[in-house]
A = this chain, B = another copy of it.
Amino acid sequence: MANGYYEIRDVVYGFVRLDQQEWDIVNHEVFQRLRRVKQLSLTDMVYPGATHTRLEHSIGVMQMASDIFDSIIRKDQARSLLFEHYKLNSDGINRYRKIIRLAALLHDIGHAPFSHAGEGLMPIKDQESKERYDHEEYSIAIIKHYFRGLIEDHPLCANYPIQVEEVTALLGDSVKCSFLGIILLFKGIISGQLDADRADYLLRDSIHAGVSYGLYDKDRLVNCIDIGQIQETGDLVLAVQDGGWNIAESLVIARYQMFSQVYFHKTRRVYDHHISNAVKTILENCYPGFNGCYPLPTDLEHYILFDDWSIYGKLKDGLGGVHGEIVLKRQHYRKVYETDLIPTQQQGEELDRKVEELKSQGISEYFVDEAKTKWYKMDKDILISDEKTGFVRVLSGLSPIVKSMVDNPRKKRLYVKKH
């Protein structure tokens, strides 16, 4: 540590440097749990290389987030605007840089085993709406419970005290603080259509899976992110410099292609189904108190015991039921029918007909999947700033491709047990 920092080798950035505080967080046993949560659930059933973890990704997002932040701060005009609007000088900048890094590092700390495949097993939050807790609520709870000390009282922060709520505010937690405007401004680095999370996982998932769909030009994206201004209100917003609107577009396209080719892959989708059911069986059999769900965010002590490893063990012990067996032997249900990304009415009816047919034959071992996402949130359009005025336009007004992404995919597939 004669250097004053630690380094972790990373497939996307070469190296990520961490200061002592970040290093201590990474080495906390609750953070180490992310080593045991794969980034893409059982996607490695299709793309054998995709065995990477949330730990690797989380460290990467921290790097990406501060790369974006540094790129903004490097720009003369952006620094001026931050000073004019928020009196942000170089001390303040360092402090916000740290808040952003910590939020990025910890944003996924609440994930259940097998990442998103586990979200259907979160406990129900509201009995009426049947809405379930999501992993962000767990993240916020875990940060407040386990990391408050390392965030608020770490010697490294002596010069610019940080409150844990400032960190969680970037993850969607509501916050009352005098710097609300800045928090809102920088929130886009952590969650938004150009955020560091997305900017990292597209590259990382591509590299480990061995595909090129998500390999947009990271350097150019980072270089082009800037602060723009809404002409009507004068508010500051994150924006992409107009010379770089194509790179913003290419990130949108990269995500579109990764969904089409990887995240929506027919085999990957059905394994989400199998593992989800296997975990449900395990929860029911082994943890009867939890009603087939993960523990509540108020019971973190138990929640953090769950990770891929604990599930793996139960699977190998034969406690995952028929779906557990399927995972172990790679005998997933086979796709027998699928619609286009946006189903035609005819395709929808065809699928229904096929399901009825199965039912009439007394076959129950089938699965109807609906793969959904939003290609682009038109109501949260990416903003492009004019080189001269600094005022922003919306990306969908410049890019015919982005504009074309109004219809969202909801591809349906029918899978039946293999014989």
- A340 lies within 8 A of chain B by Cβ: yes
The complex places the Cα of A250 from the Cα of B262 at a distance, in Å, of: 14
The complex places the Cα of A7 from the Cα of B226 at a distance, in Å, of: 15
Choice from B210, B216, B226, B257 contacting A9 with Cβ under 8 Å: B210
**Inter-chain contact B74/A219, CB cutoff 8 Å:** no
Cβ of A207: which chain B residues have Cβ within 8 Å of it? 11, 207
**Inter-chain contact B312/A48, CB cutoff 8 Å:** no
**Inter-chain contact B329/A209, CB cutoff 8 Å:** no
**Inter-chain contact B47/A209, CB cutoff 8 Å:** no
**Inter-chain contact A405/B400, CB cutoff 8 Å:** yes
- A10 lies within 8 A of chain B by Cβ: yes
**Inter-chain contact A404/B400, CB cutoff 8 Å:** yes
- A2 lies within 8 A of chain B by Cβ: yes
Once A32-B329, A49-B11, A207-B207 are accepted as A-B contacts, the answer to whether A246 and B260 lie under 8 Å apart by CB is: yes
- A362 lies within 8 A of chain B by Cβ: no
Query: From residue 2 to 57 of chain A, which have CB atoms closer than 8 A to chain B?
Result: 2-5, 7-12, 14-15, 27, 29, 32, 35-36, 38, 44-49, 51-53, 55-56
- A196 lies within 8 A of chain B by Cβ: no
Once A75-B4, A77-B3, A257-B250 are accepted as A-B contacts, the answer to whether A14 and B210 lie under 8 Å apart by CB is: yes
Which residues of A are at the interface with B, using a C-beta cutoff of 8 A? 2-5, 7-12, 14-15, 27, 29, 32, 35-36, 38, 44-49, 51-53, 55-56, 59, 74-77, 207-213, 215-220, 223, 226, 241, 246, 249-250, 253, 256-257, 260-261, 305, 307-310, 312-317, 328-330, 340-341, 387-388, 390, 398, 400-401, 403-405, 407
A-B contacts, 17 listed (Cβ < 8 Å): A2-B75, A2-B77, A3-B75, A3-B241, A10-B49, A14-B218, A29-B328, A35-B48, A49-B208, A52-B208, A211-B220, A212-B216, A212-B217, A308-B312, A310-B316, A312-B312, A313-B315
